[in-house]
């Protein structure tokens, strides 16, 4: 059997993996409706009786902002004719790259479905009467033969895309009569100010609309440049992004492929190049093994840590770890003590993080197995730091052993595993860090130190793949389709045979290389075409904390641009990172600058129309 049956999932208390094949066609119909409504900008022309609003980025956050804007306009009696243009690089509006419904169904979200709700809190003003969270939506649209839905279940990312598109379609159907929405598939490359409006450029051409208000919500759309010069080497194929994942189909069968990064993208790549090529996973004697198709490449991953992410179980929001030391009270006391001098991460935060994580570990550890703060931090964050030469030369065996240990601990769960309870505490600490980090709460050196040394490690522990996908990666390691040869970060050089990756313990030359990292913003390097142009023209400024150049766009706590305080140009979602910690999420609760923009925009267009109407009388 390829996968456990529905009954076996429930009998063995396994999480169900919900995919679009489990949903009725009625539940999936919104995809075609939205695709049919997508147009090109050339088919639109301005009208002097209409005001225009722009949302640049049609992913989940763009959808959230749109929903709030049309809700705010629902009962506005004096609203003028309004046309809202939503710009997206493809036709999968509300989904973004992460959740578009045409991706393979073995790519999964990394948190339980009970955490996902596309709607604002019930007490807020609403425009759509039936607002289902993801769990309720699956219950409503699942095929009759499917099992009952449990909020601890997981889902494919393509299914989440269908859910988001369905929610989006409900909003499109509920817009006020004087409001029209245009879904435009094009990439905005520049923005210019013109008196109190904004002019957009796409494909080096000025668009013929003057936008009263503009929201930048472009998601993960930055680029890494580390190996860009591979383009001059015709014998090397370099993918500077793993997405869209299907373009990796160009890689030949059985090729050796280097991939930079061990994170969630690496998991996607590994599954697409194995399971996606006809291989399958089977349980034999309660162990997941891989049955190859013969078409698989061999993957050679590497990263700064050279460690896998920790799997994530089906935790719900109410099961958040209760911090005992790194509390709001502690943060308040540190901030009071450091009013003039910003908080030092090493002095003020690291000791309390270590104490919190150590306490969590030792709560479940036997007395003889309890660890010191340093031992716990090393066990979680740096387990491979003291490997000897023999272990580094045989790093693949070390990786098999440590991933097996992690699988065993994950199976015990947070109620029995000291390791997993410490990981649970680490996740809570990372979420709590936002209260210290946001809007330069740390001094510049601390800000840089956290970004470079701690953030990635805490994310590796906190936001890994679902347990089922983690088991698949372990199975691929055992089967040899993942070769964990690099125990230390390799250097690279080009030779006549390809790209050579080498360290003191292993050297290999590759013709295929994938950058599996999620790129971070870098305004100075212009690793995003739109933001590079805005930075060059002075429309946006870089966030600089003391002497630390973050590469991010500098914003105020309401989402407006620093240097453009009176403008109606706002930022929301991923482009705000650096100012805030971890805004790449489906949550509507964190840093919801889209709500502020929607309220300000609704006030602008209704007040402006009211004043013009009164003047004409």
User: Reduced to 3 states, what is the DSSP secondary structure of residue 116?
Assistant: coil
CA dihedral 23, 25, 27, 31 (to 10 degrees): 120
- For position 13, what pLDDT does the model report? 52
Give residue-wise pLDDT tens across range 7-34. Answer: 455 445 568 999 999 999 999 999 999 9
Give residue-wise pLDDT tens across range 580-600. Answer: 998 778 888 888 999 999 999
* Distance, CA of 259 to CA of 298 (rounded, Å): 10
- For position 612, what pLDDT does the model report? 45
- For position 92, what pLDDT does the model report? 94
Helix H or strand E encompassing 102: none
Give residue-wise pLDDT tens across range 158-184. Answer: 999 999 999 999 999 999 988 999 999
* Distance, CA of 260 to CA of 302 (rounded, Å): 5
Asked whether residue 531 carries a pLDDT value surpassing 90, the answer given is yes
Instruction: Provide the phi-psi class of 397: left if phi over 0, else alpha when psi is between -120 and 50, else beta.
Output: alpha
b/e map 335-347, b = 16+ CB within 10 Å:
eeebeeebbbbee
* Distance, CA of 349 to CA of 454 (rounded, Å): 11
Contact between 450 and 430 (Cβ < 8 Å): no
Residue 315 DSSP code: -
- The reply to whether 6-222+524-616 and 228-308+467-515 are identical in fold is yes
CATH of domain 228-308+467-515: 3.50.50.60
- For position 79, what pLDDT does the model report? 60
Domain ranges of the chain: 6-222+524-616, 228-308+467-515, 317-462
Q: Cα-flanking dihedrals φ and ψ of residue 377, to 5°?
A: -60, -45
Give residue-wise pLDDT tens across range 414-467. Answer: 999 999 999 999 999 999 999 999 999 999 999 999 999 999 999 999 999 999
Give residue-wise pLDDT tens across range 179-214. Answer: 999 999 999 999 999 888 999 999 889 999 999 999
Task: For residue 46, name the pLDDT band (cuts at 50, 70, 90).
Answer: very high
CATH architecture of 6-222+524-616: 3-Layer(bba) Sandwich (3.50)
What's the average model confidence in pLDDT over 528-540?
95
b/e map 585-613, b = 16+ CB within 10 Å:
bbbbeebbbbbbbbebbbebbbebbeeee
- For position 230, what pLDDT does the model report? 74
* Distance, CA of 188 to CA of 383 (rounded, Å): 45
Q: Percentage of the chain with pLDDT > 70?
A: 95
């Amino acid at each position: 059997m390829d996968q456990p049956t529905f009954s076996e999932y429930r009998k063995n208390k396994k999480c169900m993996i919900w995919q679009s094949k489990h949903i009725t066609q009625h539940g999936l119909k919104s995809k075609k409706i939205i695709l049919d409504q997508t147009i090109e900008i050339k088919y639109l022309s301005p009208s002097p009786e209409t005001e225009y609003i722009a949302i640049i980025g049609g992913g989940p956050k763009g959808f959230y902002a749109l929903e709030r804007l049309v809700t705010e306009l629902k009962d506005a009696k004096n609203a003028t004719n309004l046309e809202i243009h939503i710009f997206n690089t493809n036709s999968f509006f509300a989904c973004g790259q992460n959740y578009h419904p045409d991706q393979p169904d073995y790519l999964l979200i990394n948190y339980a479905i009970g955490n996902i709700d596309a709607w604002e809190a019930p007490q807020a003003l609403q425009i759509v009467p039936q607002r289902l969270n993801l769990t309720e939506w699956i219950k409503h649209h699942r095929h009759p033969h499917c099992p009952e839905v449990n909020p601890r279940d997981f889902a494919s990312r393509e299914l989440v895309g269908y859910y988001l598109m369905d929610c989006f379609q409900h909003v499109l159907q509920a817009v006020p009569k004087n409001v029209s929405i245009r879904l435009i598939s094009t990439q905005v490359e520049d923005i210019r100010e013109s008196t109190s409006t904004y002019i957009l450029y796409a494909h080096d051409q000025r668009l013929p609309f003057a936008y009263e208000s503009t929201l930048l919500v472009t998601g993960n759309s930055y680029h890494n440049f580390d190996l860009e010069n591979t383009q001059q080497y015709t014998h090397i194929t370099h993918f500077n992004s793993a997405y869209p994942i299907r373009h990796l189909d160009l890689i030949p069968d059985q090729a050796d492929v280097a991939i930079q990064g061990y994170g969630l993208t690496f998991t996607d790549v590994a599954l697409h190049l194995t399971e996606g090529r006809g291989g399958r996973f089977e349980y034999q004697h309660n162990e997941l093994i891989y049955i190859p198709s013969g078409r698989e490449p061999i993957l050679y991953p590497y990263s700064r840590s050279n460690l896998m992410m920790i799997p994530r179980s089906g935790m719900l929001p109410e099961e958040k770890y209760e911090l005992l030391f790194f509390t709001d009270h502690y943060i308040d006391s540190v901030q009071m003590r450091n009013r003039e001098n910003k908080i030092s991460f090493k002095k003020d935060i690291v000791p309390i993080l270590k104490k919190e994580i150590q306490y969590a570990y030792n709560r479940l550890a036997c007395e003889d197995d309890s660890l010191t703060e340093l031992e716990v931090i090393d066990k979680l964050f740096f387990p491979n730091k003291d490997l000897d030469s023999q272990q580094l030369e045989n790093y693949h065996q070390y990786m098999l052993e440590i991933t097996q240990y992690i699988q065993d601990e994950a199976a015990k769960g947070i109620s029995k595993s000291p390791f997993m309870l410490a990981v649970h505490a680490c996740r809570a600490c990372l979420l709590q860090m936002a209260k210290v980090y946001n809007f330069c709460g740390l001094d510049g050196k601390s800000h840089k130190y956290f970004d470079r040394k701690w953030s990635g490690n805490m994310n590796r522990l906190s936001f890994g793949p679902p347990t089922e996908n983690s088991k698949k990666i372990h199975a691929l390691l055992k089967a040899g389709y993942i070769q964990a040869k690099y125990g230390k970060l390799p250097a690279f050089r080009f030779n006549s045979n390809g790209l050579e990756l080498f360290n003191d313990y292993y050297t290999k030359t590759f013709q295929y290389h994938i950058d599996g990292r999620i790129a971070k913003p870098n305004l100075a390097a212009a690793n995003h075409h739109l933001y590079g142009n805005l930075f060059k023209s002075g429309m946006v400024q870089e966030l600089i904390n003391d002497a630390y150049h973050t590469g991010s766009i500098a914003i105020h706590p309401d989402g407006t641009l620093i240097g453009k305080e009176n403008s109606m140009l706002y930022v929301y979602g991923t482009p705000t990172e650096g100012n805030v910690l971890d805004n790449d999420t489906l949550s509507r609760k964190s840093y919801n600058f889209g709500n502020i923009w929607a309220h300000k925009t609704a006030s602008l267009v209704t007040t402006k129309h009211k004043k013009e109407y009164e003047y004409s009388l």
